[in-house]
Amino acid sequence: MSYRPQSEPEPGREEVDRFSGPVLLEFGAAWCPHCQAVQPELAAALESLPAVRHIKIEDGKGQPLGRSFRVKLWPTLVFMRDGQVLKQVSRPSSHELREGMSLFEE
């Protein structure tokens, strides 16, 4: 099975808070070198956890969803389960990414 993030319209905060199950929100921009650098490791981690709903959000100044999560740097990953934030990291190291993904294994 190959890794494919879901392509869907950007949800609002109220909708995100109602998501059930494991969800990974990825805030970033296509041109961002930090975002591009994390993609291979993120893709591999997500491929091993197919139940995780991955939503890439093209963020920018003043975007309401990013502001609601206080996104300041890209990429910012928000690990959620049943609408609750488990962990949020910006420009994650390999260790932080593994630590966040391990929250979905429980």
Give the chain's domains with CATH numbers: 20-102 (3.40.30.10)
Q: Which of 6, 37, 87 is CA-nearest to residue 104?
A: 87
- In this prediction, residue 4 carries a pLDDT of 52
- In this prediction, residue 62 carries a pLDDT of 83
- In this prediction, residue 5 carries a pLDDT of 54
Residues of the chain with pLDDT under 70: 1-8, 106
> Is the distance from CB of 51 to CB of 81 less than 8 angstroms?
no
What's the pTM value of the predicted model, to 2 decimals?
A: 0.90
Helix-, strand-, coil-residue percentages of the chain, each rounded to 5: 35, 25, 40
